[in-house]
Structure 1
Amino acid sequence: MLSEQDVQFYKENGYILVQGVFNQKEVEEMREAVDKIIQRAARAKADQNHAWQGDFLDPQELKKLVLKGFHDVHYHDSAFMRAAIHPQMTAVLNGIIGPNVQLHHSKMLVKPPTNGAAFPMHQDYPYFPHRDHTMLAASIHLDDADMDNGCLCVIPGSHQQGVLPHVGVHYLNHKEYPISSGTPCPAKAGDVLFFNYLTIHGSDVNRSERTRRNVLFQYRDASDIPTVDTHFDWGMGLMISGENPDFNNAKPKYEIISEK
């Protein structure tokens, strides 16, 4: 799936856009799954808004913005489990990460028309730090994305700067790293943007009349381990490709605590 030049581009720039990973039928299945998850969340009164609440915009404007986000969507619909282990996906992951690849988690992000919220520039590292920094995101586009509807922007090569100090843990100073400092990554439905969790990235407001739906999977090398006890869940570490070389570190360790 990737040439040697593609792999080298990823290593140098910290990201790569791979076109046509998913076909139209697969994209439509995931679109329907996203819609159903939103409907079930609303019925369960678990519908939440994940728009960033900071000083990026006027507070009154922030109230108008919407960003729908739900984690671990492969628990909610089998379309996403199929996507996580799709042969085209694993082919790219093997080229970037290596033969032994684990799934860390998944999530969906939906920017509705005209008021889909921005996501300030940041690294994903603070959310789930790992020892070897093999963690990457694979952002599946379920709609055509451009700057009008808030496509992802990245700063090429920024992963080579290492871990940067974030404001409030999760965001970089937006005055030092405005979204305009990033390189836009317009994409078509079915394309996937792969980027390292140290690569600085963000996205602007959806100002168009078009929805921007993305499903994102976080992957890592099976030998890479978390350095902080955070963002753990039951399915973390599912083998997507290859084998787990550490027999004694094959799954998260949890205990069921009985109520007294």
Structure 2
Amino acid sequence: MIRAQDADFYKEQGYLLVKGVFNSEEVKEMREAVERIILRAAAANKDHNHAWQGDYLPPEQLKKLVLKGFHDVHYHDASFLRAIVHANMTSVLAQLIGPNVQLHHSKMLVKPPENGAAFPMHQDYPYFPHEKHTMLAASVHLDDADVDNGCLHVIPGSHRQGAMPHVGKHYLDAKQYPVSSGIACPAEAGDVLFFNYLTVHGSPANRSERTRRNVLFQYRSADDFPTEQVHFDWGMGLMVCGENPYFERARPDYRIVQHA
């Protein structure tokens, strides 16, 4: 799926756009699944706005912005589990991470037309720090994305700076790191943008009349362990390629929760 020089580019620059990972039918299936999840969430009164809050925009502007985001989408629709272990995905992951790759978590992000919220520039590292920094995000595009509808921006090579101080653990100083400080990564539906969790990234607001839907899968090497007890999600540790070399760490610790 990718060449050796593409893997070298990822290691040097901290990101890699891979074209055509998913075909049009697979994209359509996931896009429809996203819409059904939103409807079920609304019916369950769980349809919350996940737009970033803070001091990067005036309060009157923040109130107008919308972002729909839900974690663990592979527990809500089987199309996402198929995507997580898709042969094209695992082919890339084996070259970017190594032979033994685990899922950490999944989520969906929907920027509606005209008022889809921006993501200030940030690293994912503060949310789930790991020892070896193999963690990467695979952002699956379910719509064509460009600057007008809020495509991702990255700062090439920023992962080599290591962990950076964040405002309230959420985002970098917006004056020092505006979204415009990164390079835009336009993509077509079916493309996947891979980026290391130390790579500085963000996205502008969706000011277009087009929806921007992405599903994001976070992966790590099986021998890369968390350094803090934070951000533990369902299915964390699911092997997507290779094997788990640590037999005693292969089973997650679940508990039964009763629901009315």
What is the TM-score of this pair, normalised by structure 2? 0.97
Whole-angstrom CA distance in 2 between matches of 1:157 and 1:19 = 21
Instruction: Report the counterpart of residue 101 of structure 1 in structure 2.
Output: 101
Which piece of structure 1 moves more, 54-63 or 180-189? 54-63
For residues 1-260 of structure 1, the aligned pairs below 5 Å read 1-256=1-256
For residue 257 of structure 1, report the CA deviation from its aligned partner: 8.0
For residue 256 of structure 1, report the CA deviation from its aligned partner: 4.8
Structure 1 residues 83 and 257, CA gap change in structure 2 (3 angstroms): closer
For residue 251 of structure 1, report the CA deviation from its aligned partner: 2.9
1:76-125 Cα distance to aligned partner (Å, 9 max, x none) = 00000000000000000001001100000000000000000000000000
Whole-angstrom CA distance in 1 between matches of 2:147 and 2:37 = 26
Whole-angstrom CA distance in 1 between matches of 2:202 and 2:89 = 22
1:139-185 Cα distance to aligned partner (Å, 9 max, x none) = 00000000000000000000000000100012111111100000100
Whole-angstrom CA distance in 1 between matches of 2:105 and 2:232 = 9
What is the Cα-based RMSD across aligned positions, in Å?
1.1
Whole-angstrom CA distance in 1 between matches of 2:200 and 2:251 = 29
For residue 57 of structure 1, report the CA deviation from its aligned partner: 1.6
Please tell me whether the aligned partners of residues 103 and 220 of structure 2 are also in contact (alpha carbons under 8 angstroms).
Answer: yes
Indicate the percent of aligned positions where both proteins have the same amino acid: 73
Structure 1 residues 255 and 29, CA gap change in structure 2 (3 angstroms): closer
Whole-angstrom CA distance in 2 between matches of 1:10 and 1:105 = 21
Which piece of structure 1 moves more, 56-65 or 101-110? 56-65
Whole-angstrom CA distance in 2 between matches of 1:26 and 1:33 = 11
**Runs of at least 5 residues in structure 1 that lack an aligned partner in the other structure:** none
Whole-angstrom CA distance in 2 between matches of 1:252 and 1:182 = 37
1:24-79 Cα distance to aligned partner (Å, 9 max, x none) = 00000000000000000000000010111112222111111000000000000000
What amino acid sits opposite 2:86 in the alignment?
A: H
Whole-angstrom CA distance in 2 between matches of 1:195 and 1:212 = 19
Which piece of structure 1 moves more, 229-238 or 213-222? 229-238
For residue 22 of structure 1, report the CA deviation from its aligned partner: 0.3
Please tell me whether the aligned partners of residues 104 and 236 of structure 1 are also in contact (alpha carbons under 8 angstroms).
Answer: yes
What is the TM-score of this pair, normalised by structure 1? 0.97
Moved beyond 4 Å, runs of 4+:
255-258
Please tell me whether the aligned partners of residues 105 and 234 of structure 2 are also in contact (alpha carbons under 8 angstroms).
Answer: no
Whole-angstrom CA distance in 1 between matches of 2:81 and 2:64 = 33
